[in-house]
Amino acid sequence: MKIAVVGTGYVGLVSGTCFASIGHEVVCIDNNKDKIDNLNNRGVIPIYEPGLEDLVKQNVAEGRLEFTTDLKAAVAASDVVFIAVGTPPRPDNGQADLKYVYQVAEEIGEAIDGFTVVVDKSTVPIGTAEEVTAIIEKVNPEADFAVVSNPEFLREGFAIDDFLNGDRVVVGVENSQAEELMKEVYIPLEKRGVQVLMTRVKTAEMIKYASNTFLATKLGFINEIADLCEKVGADVDQVAHAMGMDTRIGAKFLQAGPGFGGSCFPKDTMALEYIAKENGCDLSIVKATIDSNVNRKLRMAEKVAEALDGSLEGKTIGVLGLAFKGNTDDTRESPAIAIIKEMQKMGASIKAYDPAAIEEAKHELTDVKYGSDEYSVCDNADALVILTEWTQFAVLDLELVKAKLNNPILVDLRNLYSVAEVTTKGLKYYSIGR
Ligand code: UGA
């Protein structure tokens, strides 16, 4: 089966590479020539994703994966074409901006040769498949094609495993020829035990938004329960653990923290709220989730101030973590960035370290000094604050941390330690919901 993937960003590159690794012939397309040259000639990947570079190199070497800027030729030669370009939020109203999807749809329409399945892989509002169909029909009334929705459920940092061993694959399809081809695309995963669910197109589009928004709401819920735990003297980690043992609730996505971030949850919750408004439907729970998360990030800076007698004025804060979560260099909508900016507003000087995200953070932060490792940010700092759950931050030499800090204060907004293990080392410990 010949597959083309348009867009070599996060979703396109992971999906294209994984399709190749399960046996398909894949060509990934991008209009950025440097990116394509780097991928073709040096196997250099433009994103940080554990395991991806090796998988790209292996599949290129085995002849199943190639990269090109020539969309026309690649689309004409393919049975299935995935659209995997960005859908960033519009700054004015949070609506997903579909200009890249529509541009690519036009180009695909002009290039189609023989029956072709065009697949929306990017996260797109409900009704986008209809729009893409109309665009292709307009540019090429002769085109023989069907548009399908196949949302992705890939977590950054775990994307390859999520692709190959996901809980489910969702395909929204209303054309039988396209359905057969999509079954063929996913047969190798079905054989590995992944469930492939066929739905109507708009249902598939809704499943993506509903899934991300539900997970975001689950996080918002446990974060608010954490706040209450602090007030009443309960332990949110034990509360979440016991809640998660109830299979109706489920244990995942119940880790309280500084708020959710990344390029998906904040964007998709806003986009769903916009879609609801457009359709005259009040999603008050979604609205509350968005507001609660925005406020939470700001409140986290106050939590740090409270650990330092109520003021950050003139204080130096050592920060561990800039990425929106561990295992990624992505700082988009990172709680760490928002909290650092808020602490700066409150008068603090910041010295930060992250194993992968410093270069990305430099685009968003000013007046921050960067350390070369975990311990360098402790030197002469008035407190150490953990903002991202990198595994290496969970095994710090706490005696060394204490020796380096001006005050023995550790604020851990990811609950990486037990209260006992920090306090027995003589540090004052402030965490979430405990
Ligand atoms: C998310 C979804 O998990 C994927 O299924 C989806 O495909 C993807 O968005 C997307 O739409 O492309 P991702 O943004 O990579 O994936 O990140 P998550 O692992 O879901 O984490 C999101 C945020 O929630 C992070 O800030 C993370 O630190 C936070 N989080 C997550 C918690 O605070 N606690 C948890 O228990 C889990």
Q: What's the predicted TM-score (pTM) here?
A: 0.95
Segment 271-285 shows an average pLDDT of 95
Domain membership of residue 172 (yes or no) is: yes
What 3-state class would DSSP assign to 76?
A: helix
Cα 263 to ligand 1 centre (Å): 9
DSSP code at position 161: H
Q: Are 18 and 88 members of one domain?
A: yes
Ligand 1 site, CB within 6 A = 123, 152-156, 212, 215, 219, 253-255, 257, 260-262, 264-265, 324-325
Domain membership of residue 207 (yes or no) is: no
291 has a pLDDT exceeding 90:
yes
Domain membership of residue 219 (yes or no) is: no
- Summarize pLDDT for 315-335 with one digit per residue, the tens: 999 999 999 999 999 999 999
Atom of ligand 1 nearest to the CA of 261: 26
Domain membership of residue 62 (yes or no) is: yes
Q: Report how far residue 5's alpha carbon sits from residue 385's, in angstroms, rounded to the nearest whole number.
A: 41
Q: Are 83 and 156 members of one domain?
A: yes
Atom of ligand 1 nearest to the CA of 328: 15
Q: Report how far residue 244's alpha carbon sits from residue 255's, in angstroms, rounded to the nearest whole number.
A: 10
β partners of residue 40: none
Residue 401: burial class (beta carbons within 10 Å; 0-12, 13-18, 19+): buried
Q: Report how far residue 63's alpha carbon sits from residue 176's, in angstroms, rounded to the nearest whole number.
A: 31
Q: Report how far residue 124's alpha carbon sits from residue 120's, in angstroms, rounded to the nearest whole number.
A: 8
Q: Are 290 and 384 members of one domain?
A: yes
Q: Which of 177, 199, 221 is the last residue of a domain?
A: 199
What 3-state class would DSSP assign to 401?
A: helix
Cα 352 to ligand 1 centre (Å): 23
pLDDT, residue 92, reads 84
Q: Which of 47, 170, 265 to mutate to test the pocket of ligand 1 (most atoms within 8 A of CB)?
A: 265
* Residue 264 annotated as catalytic: yes
Q: Are 331 and 337 in contact (CB under 8 A)?
A: yes
Q: Are 180 and 251 members of one domain?
A: no
Q: Are 222 and 256 in contact (CB under 8 A)?
A: yes
Task: Domain count for the chain, please give it.
Answer: 2
Domain membership of residue 210 (yes or no) is: no
Share of the chain above pLDDT 90, in %: 96
Cα 265 to ligand 1 centre (Å): 7
pLDDT, residue 221, reads 98
Segment 132-161 shows an average pLDDT of 97
Q: Which of 152, 208, 264, 390 to mutate to test the pocket of ligand 1 (most atoms within 8 A of CB)?
A: 264
β partners of residue 68: 29
Q: Are 136 and 252 members of one domain?
A: no
DSSP code at position 316: E
- Residue 250: give the domain boundaries: 244-430
What residue's CA is closest to ligand 1, atom 20? 155
Domain membership of residue 194 (yes or no) is: yes
Q: Report how far residue 414's alpha carbon sits from residue 259's, in angstroms, rounded to the nearest whole number.
A: 10
- Summarize pLDDT for 216-257 with one digit per residue, the tens: 999 999 999 999 999 999 999 999 999 999 999 999 999 999
Q: Which of 152, 155, 386, 393 to mutate to test the pocket of ligand 1 (most atoms within 8 A of CB)?
A: 155
Residue bearing tokens 């939020």: 89
β partners of residue 352: 319, 370
Atom of ligand 1 nearest to the CA of 153: 7
Domain membership of residue 213 (yes or no) is: no
What residue's CA is closest to ligand 1, atom 9? 264
Residue 64 exposure: Cα atoms within 13 Å on the Cβ side: 18
- Summarize pLDDT for 86-96 with one digit per residue, the tens: 998 888 887 88
Please give the backbone phi and psi of residue 320, each rounded to the nearest 5 degrees, phi first. Answer: -110, 110
Q: Where are the alpha helices (DSSP H) in 308-357?
A: 335-345
Residue by residue, what is the 3-state secondary structure of 95-108?
CECCHHHHHHHHHH
pLDDT, residue 83, reads 98
Whole-number average pLDDT of the chain? 96
Q: Which of 180, 199, 218 is the last residue of a domain?
A: 199
Cα 155 to ligand 1 centre (Å): 6
Cα 255 to ligand 1 centre (Å): 11
What residue's CA is closest to ligand 1, atom 24? 260
pLDDT, residue 41, reads 84
Q: Are 110 and 181 members of one domain?
A: yes
Q: Are 252 and 172 members of one domain?
A: no
Tell me which of 18, 229, 264, 378 is the catalytic residue.
Answer: 264
pLDDT, residue 90, reads 86
Taking CA atoms, 19 is separated from 152, 187, 316, 363, in Å, by 13, 11, 48, 33
178 has a pLDDT exceeding 90:
yes
Segment 53-77 shows an average pLDDT of 96
CATH number at residue 57: 3.40.50.720
pLDDT, residue 301, reads 97
- Summarize pLDDT for 391-419 with one digit per residue, the tens: 999 999 999 999 999 999 999 999 999 99
Segment 417-424 shows an average pLDDT of 96
Q: Report which residue type is found at 329.
A: D
Atom of ligand 1 nearest to the CA of 254: 36
Q: Are 162 and 291 members of one domain?
A: no
pLDDT band at residue 281 using 50, 70 and 90 as cut-offs: very high
Residue 7: burial class (beta carbons within 10 Å; 0-12, 13-18, 19+): buried
Shortest CA distance to 272 belongs to which of 324, 208, 219? 208
Atom of ligand 1 nearest to the CA of 325: 28
CA geometry: angle at 166 spanning 161 and 171, to 5°?
130
The token duo for 286 is 């979604």
